[in-house]
Amino acid sequence: MTDTELQADELLALTSIYDEPVIAISQDAEDVGGQFLSSVHLPDTTIKILSRREKSGNKDGKSIEEVHEVKFLPPVILNFQLPADYPSCSPPQFTLSCKWLNRKQLTALCHKLDEIWEENKGNEILFMWTSFLAEETMEFLGVESTIDLTNAFDSRKGSDTEPRAIQDIGSRDRLIPVVLDYDKQEKQCQFEKTMFQCKVCFSDRPGSSCIKFLDCDHVYCKDCMKDYFTVQIGEGNVTALSCPDEKCESQAHPSQVKALVNEELFDKYEKLLLRTGLDMMVDVMYCPRPACQYPVMLDRESNMGSCPSCSYSFCTLCKLVFHGKSPCRVKADGFKKLREEYQNADEENKRFLEKKYGKKTIEQALEEAFTNDWMESFAKQCPGCGAHIQKMDGCNKMTCMKCRSYFCWLCMSELSRNNPYKHFNQPGSKCHNRLFEGMDEDDDDFDIDDDMFF
């Protein structure tokens, strides 16, 4: 067979072994060759990437060591061109380029490819080269579980530099970001090709139809997570977009949420997420005006907030108009709540409430709430005027000393002014024959209305 036929057969064999874009072939009559992307074989476990950089403003000569774990590294790229007399006489012309291998390492690989050609001169050599680069590069260079990229970038070009060895990276600062970005992209590519069982609907889906929670690696199909996110955001539970696994608390990344829900729902999600974040900041409060609700930075020393949107100045303690050093006002129905809050508070919170409302207000709340509790326990309200009445002794026909109406102490019914005792004499009435119920045995046997009102 002629060299041309051997070249065509070899290139055809390579394209049947490797998929695009691993192999790219050009069979132009004047430019027969191609490109091979060699993703080097790595250990089953992740490998560590080390790098050291100078601390900004550092004067003591110390540097910061960065450690990253990756499963994929950018490929070693073999670009080759086949001479007309290959493989009978001449080897392929080639260059080797890589982002994370330095020129010394790339030079060693170039010389190894030359050595493989010399050992197999006159035979097709491309498959041997590609196999070596993919399977044996790490072992040949003595790289095991840790790669130190501290000195990987070398911009110097000496006379002994191998012209076929090209480090394909613009600057040292770009090296680590490029390596980490490639690792991320390859992990996503592998994820999309793998089949997973959704833990919600238990259907088998390819990774391209699933999402993986980044902190826990739990996988669910996009359909289930779209419904889940839609319901939670609709109910305002943006902090509840966690992994559905009952033992997991991983949160969905905003980019994952954006990829699944519509634009309107994602806008709501972002606003609620921002509000939740502001709520957690101790120096931020929303304007108390319902129509405004603009976030306001607080002045903790003066307890004053000033809304930059509507210019409303308010007390940060009671949310009412700023009242200077005067104590906060308590609403008429708030004394009982204030008493309960004060009695259940620890010493620090008691001091806070005293500062907020003043000690006199606290004392008034305690006294008034105690009086109200006592009256609820020992007094009843007149059904006519609502005055509080305590029954000291006497029969159950009561006379309100405020409105002078009659009523039954037992059932609180108003009684006839003409015949108030008829209520207790009617057969079938629940108060029948109960006029003197509850009286002590030594009380008088006649009706004495010894009642009081407050």
Residues belonging to the active site: 395
Q: What is the 3-state secondary structure (H, E, C) of the chain?
A: CCHHHHHHHHHHHHHHHCCCCCEEEEEECCEEEEEEEECCCCCCCCEEEEEEEECCCCCCCCEEEEEEEECCCCCEEEEEECCCCCCCCCCCEEEEEECCCCHHHHHHHHHHHHHHHHHCCCCCCHHHHHHHHHHCHHHHHCCCCEEECCCCCCCCCCCCCCCCEEECCCCHHHHHHHHHHHHHHHHHHHHHHCEEECCCCCCEEEHHHEEECCCCCCEEEHHHHHHHHHHHHHCCCHHHCECCCCCCCCECCHHHHHHHCCHHHHHHHHHHHHHHHHHCCCCEEECCCCCCCCEEEEECCCCEEECCCCCCEEECCCCCECCCCCCCCCCHHHHHHHHHHHHHCCHHHHHHHHHHHCHHHHHHHHHHHHHHHHHHHHCEECCCCCCEEEECCCCCEEECCCCCCEEECCCCCECCCCCCCHHHHCCCCCCCCCCCCCCCCCCCCCCCCCEEEC
Q: How far apart are CA 93 and CA 99, in angstroms?
A: 21
394 contacts: CB under 8 Å, gap ≥ 6: 439, 443, 447, 448, 449, 450, 451
Phi, psi angle pair for 50, to nearest 5°: -105, 145
Residue type at position 223:
D
The four Cα atoms 354, 315, 284, 252 give a dihedral, to 10 degrees, of: 80
- Specify whether the CB–CB gap between 396 and 431 falls below 8 A: yes
Phi, psi angle pair for 10, to nearest 5°: -65, -45
